Amino acid sequence: MGRWRIATGWGHLVKKQTMNHPQKRRTPEQVRAGNLRLGLILFAIAAVFFLGFVLRQWLWH
């Protein structure tokens, strides 16, 4: 239960901070760059799991 309070508290803190400093808000280009970076990281993780599964099947069968 304490975890949720901490997570909610941090979310509230971040929202409040961006509202107090609108000039620090991320531009659409920065948002896109962040989304691309996250997508590439998730793709790399999925590729590693997939390759691990394929190699395990290929080596042990």
Going from N- to C-terminal start, the domains of the chain cover 2-59
pTM, two decimals, is 0.56
Segment 54-61 long-range contacts (CB within 8 Å, at least 24 positions apart): none
Phi, psi torsion values for 26, nearest 5 degrees: -70, 140
Residue with tokens 């390759």: 51
pLDDT in tens, 6-47: 555 555 555 555 556 667 899 999 999 999 999 999 999 999
